[in-house]
Structure 1
Amino acid sequence: MKKNSVKKWHIATTLVTGLLFTSQALACTTFIITPGATESGAMYVGHSDDGHLNDPRLVYVPAADHQPGSTRPVYFDATSIGELPEYGSFVYRRYTGSDRGPGYVNTRVPQSKPVGFIPQVAHTYAYFDGNYGIMNEHQLMFGECTNGTKMGNVKPSPKHLFYSAELARVALERCKTAREAVELIGHLIDTYGFHGTGETLPVADPKEGWLIEMVPGDDSFGGLWVAQRIPDGEMVVSANELRIREVDPNNPDQLFSPNLHKVAQAKGWWKPEDGQLDWLRAVSLGEYNHPYYSLRRVWRVMDKLAPSLHLSPWVKDGYTRDYPLTITPDHKVTRHEVLHLLRDHYEGTEFDMTKGVAAGPFGVPYRYLGPYESAGDVADPKAHHDGAWQRPLSVYYCTYSFICEGRSWLPDAIGGLLWFGLSKPSETAYTPLYVGTTKVAEPYSTADPRYYTRDSAFWAFNFVENWAAINYSGVHQDIVDVRDPLEKEHFQAVAQADKEALSLFKQNPAAATAYLTEFSVNTAQNVFETWQNFADMLIVKYADGGMNYPGELNHKVGYPQEWLKTTSWVNGPTTYEQPEAK
């Protein structure tokens, strides 16, 4: 379909130039599972970008060479503290310009303006980019989640140049290993400062994983950071609360700001007589938004992978030590299990969101937030709460999610896989894309959350997610019936593609690149077309409250008897007599 023939539906004119949110920090969940904990020996980094109709485009940023003495612009990201139009960065279009290759070029809209500049390097690597940097050609992988801290919503300035999204991009451009990336990010924060909110970036290469956490500064300091290596054979999960605790200068597996202790002491956050500095307690107020907003997700992932620990979902407070930074899974985790970690609404637990009055007759796990709710993952943890919903791993306002898979036994171009899924994790189909590609299928790099279009994979998946609310138990099963065989086919196709690409790579790396590009683009295009056709089928099947099939229209489904008994149906008009007043 030609772009100029695509029908667009405008959501609201105020979204074009107005602020979409005062703060874009809406929450994410992220994790690392190290090679020693996985069945195949692969490294996994997972991330759900729960940004609620922010920019869903997956963009390939090509490698580039740069002239001596040139500079690298640093741009503002609206995902940090909301839109600042003076920088030309918006939640619906994260960046526009030519500095990240042709994928972001659009001369018809306002161009992004740098906050500042840093020295450029001679050569930068290719990588996949989203609202945060994702994965580069050397299998360097990132995730992300936002955290509340005592220093929050700091605006960009010459003294606070970077936000975590740009830090990840610079690292992807310049680094091959996780340790190199952590050291570079720390150096950039120490040298140029950090703005926005508290942030966690899981960073991994095929052999080693790190967690780096950072907080913005004020007029007296640029920012602070702490990083910790994740032992092989273990995993870590982070969900909008800082996870690193004691900072030990003698720990070879930790790195941190050289001025951390000095600043913490000057701010009254820590005293030497307290012993080792507790990073979480020193720079934050614990868990934000409402109790268990973060910790229940941490518990859920840990309990799914290591039920033998018998971790309780109930803790004393937001500073609990009941959930260690890392755990060892009870068994070697499979790729299939990794792809399902974020597809969870606490099914089968006391918090099951498909059960109860709020789930309605068809077990809908979505809980739409209103103006009476706390505002995102940096909301005041001391605010009064009249009520709250459970915060699941798969949330209705997820823009996209992904699993990076790094495999050390293969050349980087073949070993690096990005499993990318648009919209809600429980309703998406993950698509495999090799880092050895040179482009992204157009439906995956085409989207504007202000307009519905038929050429966008995001809108195909988002439509199905929203249509599922009509009859979740039915539509979700339809999704599973399409999704699971599709992903199984992807596993088999990847295994064959690995062999083909490796054979080509040994003879001619350029031929392998061409093959991997064709595979990735064709696979993504097939997923998009499958989901588009699937969405069209659902419109008919669930029209007007019935179940419609080619040979039978309006097969009456009605409501489950158990749910009916809780409604006014039992007192409905079954007689002409007027009911007695109660």
Structure 2
Amino acid sequence: MKVLGKCFLVLLLVSVSSSMACTTLIVTKGASADGSMIVAHSDDNDLADQRIVYVPAQDHEPGSFRPVYCSAVAMGEFHQYNSFIYPRIVSDRAPAYDTPGYPLSIPIGMIPQVDHTFAYFDGSYGIMNEHQLMFGECTDGAKIQIGPEPGKRIFYSSELSRVALERCKTAREAVELIGYLIEKYGYYGTGETLPVADPNEAWVIEMAPSPEGTGGLWVARRVPDGEVFVAANQFRIREIDTENPDFLYGETLHEVAEKFGWWDPKDGPLDWLRTVSLGEYNHPYYSLRRVWRLFSSMAPSMNLSPWVEDGFTREYPFSLKPDNKVSASDVMNLYRDHYEGTEFDLTKGVAAGPFGYPDRYYGPYDGQGDVGDPSRQLGGAWERPISVTYCGYAFVCQARNWLPDPVGGIMWLGLDKPADTCFIPFFVGVSDLPESIQVCDTSEFNKDSAWWAFNFVSNWAALKYSYMHEDIKLMQEKYEALSLSRLPEIEAHITKILLTKPEEAGRYLARFCSRNSQEIVEAWWKLSEYLIVRYNDGFINEKGNMAQPTGYPKEWLDETGWADGPTSYEKK
């Protein structure tokens, strides 16, 4: 039990610095409107490394090794490995990772390399590869959170997802490889949920550090076709059915759980959530409210309650069948949610201010870290919505089995906060991503970075949100519809090219994605200039009719001291 005590000490020391908290989902092909498999993720990362990087396919010499780098999104920065929030990696893995002015990342360890690795899109975690294999992610609270150690624990989920994208074509292959790597090389960091899907099948793999200090704990479950899965910073797999082929799990999981008193076989099948965690993440309803919101939005007929008994509730199933088929556009809009129209609507009430601003800024008085200790008393808490101001980027990936891989796989990328961004399509068959997508340092304003265009508009909109957000919505609808309208022609053209001149396909797709994204980014910079002028000094301004006074809504004025203001010379 000495190891257990030591690990809990590590948890207490690092949990306050870990703030990565995301929302992720799967829509299986039988549940989607067009038959595509969909994986979505919001990277709520507190101004971390927002670059979306194209990692090219590569050939490797026999007998070579792959470096495994430390991840600052796991538990904070590790200076001994040159592991920073920005840049996340400095290496020759991809041209964009050759980041001038920063020291090379130092590997925690090495694993044998394979002869050929696939091309993929990379962010804080691996996103999607050239064979339409795709990942989502969310961080979960775990009883054990411990740092990396060469020879014992070299993998976190971010590098695990990248290795899988480099080497695998199917979701099941990815799950089996990740499980093998966890057991052989060890796992450090937080608890993690990784949805992983290919065009035909979807799985969820969840992992946590082991109290033994080596290896790691993991379990995976297949998502039934025709259903949707949601996770929001809490483990979602419960009892492990050891006789069911839709479950995979670590060889030592049951043995370790029993050894450390986390599970007793007399109690029945091992409950993964209850075994490796304390329940919910951060504070009550931080996770579960989002699970309720997404499930109830897609399946309102189930009449799911937003109120539960505790963090181990069974109110919400692992997955469910939606009332109606779900499109990629539906998912984009789900990610823009602040509980509008519910009793938790963050655009309402005095905290939203006069113009219905839904974001809440967290401070030292709020719940901290990524372990929801049910014994901790908090003075208060904000509702935690799906779209948050500290989101770095979000994506909605589609895998489509009726199209060739280069155009079948598509990443709809939304930079900065989902509520105020525009999702831009990028085919997995591109030969590269636009430079503006692969450049972003959040500590330096840069108009050459696409991320800054969306971040600036989102921050500016806070001044008069109920007004400006309507302008933003019009732009979202216009440019997302425009992108959708362009895709069929591109897909048909590439399908022909692949039959005659396949070597040209990647460059053609790269040119399209570059032009399309550049058009949208330029439109967002123009939108920012428009918003600055139109709402300058709190007015509504138009040429020939400047400084139109709007004031404040009467309902909000009634909540302030306005009625007690100086309306006479008498002392009140």
Fold-level similarity (TM above 0.5): yes
Which residue of 65, 71, 74 corresponds with 1:71?
A: 65
Distance 2:88 2:16 in 1: 16
The one-letter code sitting in structure 2 at the alignment partner of 1:522 is R
Partner of 2:221: 228
- TM-score, normalised on structure 1? 0.94
CA drift at 1:78: 0.2
Give the 3-state SS of the residue equivalent to 1:258 in structure 2. coil
1:108 positional shift: 2.4
Counterpart for residue 48 of structure 1: 42
Work out whether 1:339 is the aligned partner of 2:340.
Answer: no
CA distance in 2, matches of 1:428, 1:216: 35
**For the residues of structure 2 that align with 1:89 and 1:154, how far apart are their CA atoms?**
12
Contact 1:202 1:212 in 2 (8 A): yes
2:119 maps to what in 1? 126
Q: Aligned runs of 1:146-165 on 2, under 5 Å? A: 146-165=139-158
What SS is found at the alignment partner of 1:558? coil
- C-alpha distance after superposition, 1:53-100 (max 9, x if no partner): 0000010000000000000000001000001111112112101111x1
Aligned residue type for 1:549: E
Contact conserved, 1:96 with 1:105, CA < 8 A, in 2? yes
CA distance in 2, matches of 1:85, 1:554: 52
CA shift at 1:378, angstroms?
2.8
Alignment of 1:243-322 (within 5 A): 243-322=236-315
Select the residue among 395, 398, 415 that pairs with 1:405.
Answer: 398
Letter in 1 for 2:132: Q
Secondary structure at 2:546 match in 1: strand
Q: Does 1:59 align with 2:50?
A: no
Q: Would the aligned equivalents of 1:81 and 1:155 in 2 still touch at CA under 8 Å?
A: no
Rounded to whole Å, the distance in 2 between the matches of 1:549 and 1:110 is 50
Identify the residue that residue 103 of structure 1 maps to in structure 2.
96
1:378 partnered with 2:383: no
Alpha-carbon shift at residue 154 of structure 1 (Å): 3.1
Cα distance in 1 for partners of 2:458, 2:392 equals 11
Bigger mean CA deviation after superposition, 523-532 or 72-81: 523-532
Alpha-carbon distance between aligned partners in 2 of 1:257 and 1:488, rounded to the nearest angstrom:
44
| Aligned match of 1:391 | 384
CA-to-aligned-CA distance 1:312-331 (integer Å, 9 cap, x gap):
00111100001000000001
In structure 2, give the amino acid aligned to 1:57: R
State how far apart, in whole Å, the 1-side matches of 2:74 and 2:430 are.
Answer: 29
SS at match of 1:89: coil
* Offset of residue 375 of structure 1: 1.4
In the alignment, is the contact (CA less than 8 A) between 1:53 and 1:92 conserved in 2?
no
Is 1:503 matched with 2:496? yes
TM-superposition CA deviations, 1:488-522 (whole Å, max 9, x none): 01111112211121122222212222221111111
8 Å Cα contact 2:57/2:118 also seen in 1: yes
Match of 1:437 among 412, 416, 430: 430
Match of 1:554 in 2: 547
Structure 2 distance, partners of 1:220, 1:481, is 52
Report the 3-state secondary structure (helix = DSSP H, G, I; strand = E; otherwise coil) of the residue aligned with 2:497.
helix
Corresponding residue number in structure 2 for 1:420: 413
Contact 1:428–1:461 (CA<8 Å) still a contact in 2?
yes
How many Å apart are 1:381 and its aligned residue?
3.8
Query: Which residue pairs with 1:6 in the alignment?
Result: none
- Give the deviation of 1:109 after TM superposition: 1.5
The 1-side partners of 2:35 and 2:369 are apart by 36
> Cα distance, 1:21 vs. partner?
9.8
After TM superposition, give the deviation of residue 225 of structure 1 in Å: 0.2
Equivalent of 1:203, from 192, 196, 199?
196
Give SS of 2:67's match.
strand
Q: 1:479 is matched by which residue type in structure 2?
A: I
C-alpha displacement of 1:368: 0.4
Is 2:371 the partner of 1:369? no
Structure 2 equivalent of residue 12 of structure 1: none
Aligned to 1:141: 134
Q: Name the CA distance, whole Å, in 2 between partners of 1:507 and 1:371.
A: 61
Q: Shift in Å at residue 150 of structure 1?
A: 0.6
Distance (Å, rounded) in 1 between the aligned partners of 2:374 and 2:138: 17
Note if contact 2:416-2:454 (Cα within 8 Å) is conserved in structure 1: yes
Q: Is 1:23 paired with 2:17?
A: yes
Q: Which amino acid aligns with 2:305?
A: S
Greater CA deviation, 505-514 or 263-272?
505-514
> C-alpha separation between the residues in 2 aligned to 1:221 and 1:275?
26
Note if 1:574 corresponds to 2:567. Answer: yes
Q: TM-score, normalised by structure 2?
A: 0.96
Separation in 2, partners of 1:448, 1:360: 31
Give how far 1:32 is off. Answer: 0.5
Range 226-235 or range 438-447, more displaced: 438-447
**SS in structure 2 opposite 1:452?**
coil
After TM superposition, the runs of 4+ consecutive aligned structure 1 residues lying more than 4 A away are none
Q: Is the 8 A contact 2:26 2:202 kept in 1?
A: yes
- Aligned pair 1:39/2:23, yes or no? no
Q: How many residues align?
A: 559
The alpha carbon displacement at 1:193 in A equals 0.6
Instruction: Give the match for residue 484 of structure 2.
Output: 491
Aligned-residue offset at 1:25: 3.4
Tell me how far 1:223 sits from its aligned partner: 0.7
Q: Percent identity of the aligned residues?
A: 55
Where 2:177 maps in the other structure, the secondary structure is helix
| Whole-angstrom distance in 2 between the partners of 1:51 and 1:103 | 20
The verdict on how the C-alpha distance between 1:22 and 1:287 changes in structure 2, with shifts beyond 3 A counting, is: closer
Per-residue Cα deviation, 1:313-372 (whole angstroms, up to 9, x for no partner): 011110000100000000111222122111100000000000001001100000100011
- 1:212 — aligned with what? 205
1:518 is aligned, of 511, 521, 540, to 511
Residue type of the partner of 2:216? G
The one-letter code matched in structure 2 to 1:517 is A
User: Which 10-residue stretch deviates more, 334-343 or 139-148?
Assistant: 334-343
Deviation of residue 571 (structure 1)? 1.2
In the alignment, the residues of structure 2 paired with residue 81 and residue 237 of structure 1 have an alpha-carbon distance, to the nearest angstrom, of: 24
User: Are the equivalent residues in 1 in contact too, given 2:420–2:458 (CA < 8 A)?
Assistant: yes
* Aligned-pair CA distance for 1:101: 2.0
Name which of 522, 526, 545 aligns with 1:533.
Answer: 526
Q: Partners in 1 of 2:94 and 2:418 — Cα distance? A: 29
Compute the displacement of 1:536 (Å): 1.6
Q: CA deviation at 1:153?
A: 4.0
- Give unpaired runs (5+ residues) of structure 2: 1-13
Aligned to 1:5: none
Matching residue of 1:16: none
Measured in 1, the distance between the counterparts of 2:15 and 2:366 equals 14
Of stretches 512-521 and 404-413 in structure 1, the one that deviates more from structure 2 is 512-521
State the match for 2:79 in structure 1: 85
Q: What is the distance in 1 between the residues matched to 2:342 and 2:157? A: 34
Shift of 1:26: 2.6
